[in-house]
Structure 1
């Protein structure tokens, strides 16, 4: 595992190069972008779940579904509508849960951004200081090399003027040589001072780079773990939604198992029956026949009675007191 550490694999032989650091920053930026994409995904999924839940709720509460059904099947339909309502509420609740998870992802992303910002500011300052000191060192090196060339030329001039008889000219050459030697010594000291300063800055930068690598690696481990757990939790929430919905639909299946065809038929018959006697046949009636069927059409016939014949002839005269009797039946109240 030590071979895969950030601090061991993101360097460059060029002291001015920041390719390793830039590579890490790009990777962390991509990780933050991925978190933002998942956060947006959760928000979008939440909107879909909420819309579906509300649409399902409206369907359950406003759309008729066997509203004129009776008895056990009616109770099963009531359970069905109630459980569909419950499933809709679960989807709305899931939408709220997903928004909460998206909020947690946003908070995590912003927390890592703030933590990283401190390290990035420090590293930017170290990089700038290192580059500036490197430039000063290279300028001091150029000055030192130029002074050395000037000294070498002054020495060659002195050697060439050894055979000259003009002492004044020789004196000038010696003065120039002495001056160039002094300049070389001064520039050498300056150059060495800048080298020493650059080396100290390099060591400080190297130390800060290692710390930044360790910090970035810790953040990346935390981000991967958080992202993985968030995705795992999201899938579990979706699975739980399916399980919860299935439990609710199981209640509908149970209510349907309790539905009895015989009971529903008997219930309908007992509460809506209209009678047990069918209508009598309609009899033929001849217009010219003296005897007609007086039974009303569509009604059950009464007792089969023959038509009444003519009145009996009284056995006594109107003056007789028994005139009011007809076959022993009196028309006078007794």
Structure 2
């Protein structure tokens, strides 16, 4: 009997292994799903880190907007100086809003998707294992004849 291939099969096509005597077609699909799951997890972690950065930056800007600026000057320069804290506050709130949007529209849906995939994988894995056991049982029965 030929030795089972030990190098990763992720570079191959499913059609190459579909009728393989070692049933590596399912392993190929499982490997690709595992890689896709890891990619989704990496993207989710990236979104989470980005949201944390935006939130921290927004909070720091809001804190900075509390500093008072001496506006004893006259004319347009005094007007410009008096607008700086409100502009910084607006920018800070925009960063906090962006952090929330990243969490609600990107990170959470991706986390929900990963959870759904985890549950589907459990169900499919059980069905595949049962099918493999049944196939092996039938192969053993035929080999005995």
Which structure has the highest helix share of the two? 2
SS at match of 2:66: helix
Q: Distance in 1 between matches of 2:73 and 2:49?
A: 40
Give the unaligned 5+ runs of structure 2. 1-12
Q: How many residues align?
A: 132
When the two chains are superposed, the root-mean-square deviation of aligned CA atoms in Å is 1.9
Matched, 1:117 2:122: yes
Match of residue 20, structure 2, among 13, 19, 30: 13
Shift >4 Å, 4+ stretches? none
TM normalised by structure 2 equals: 0.81
Q: Distance in 2 between matches of 1:10 and 1:79?
A: 67
- Asked whether the equivalents of residues 59 and 92 of structure 2 are also in contact (C-alpha less than 8 Å), the reply is yes
Shift of 1:116: 3.3
Matched, 1:53 2:33: no
Q: How does 1:9-88 map to 2 (within 5 A)?
A: 9-14=16-21, 17-62=22-67, 64-88=68-92
TM normalised by structure 1 equals: 0.37
Q: Distance in 2 between matches of 1:106 and 1:134?
A: 41
Give the unaligned 5+ runs of structure 1. 1-5, 141-190, 192-334
Shift of 1:9: 4.2
Change (3 A) 1:7 1:42: same
Q: Deviations over 1:283-318 (max 9, x none)?
A: xxxxxxxxxxxxxxxxxxxxxxxxxxxxxxxxxxxx
Q: Deviations over 1:259-305 (max 9, x none)?
A: xxxxxxxxxxxxxxxxxxxxxxxxxxxxxxxxxxxxxxxxxxxxxxx
Shift of 1:42: 0.6
Bigger Rg, which one: 1
Q: Deviations over 1:135-176 (max 9, x none)?
A: 2322x2xxxxxxxxxxxxxxxxxxxxxxxxxxxxxxxxxxxx
1:89 is aligned to 93
Q: Distance in 1 between matches of 2:88 and 2:78?
A: 15
Q: Distance in 1 between matches of 2:73 and 2:60?
A: 24
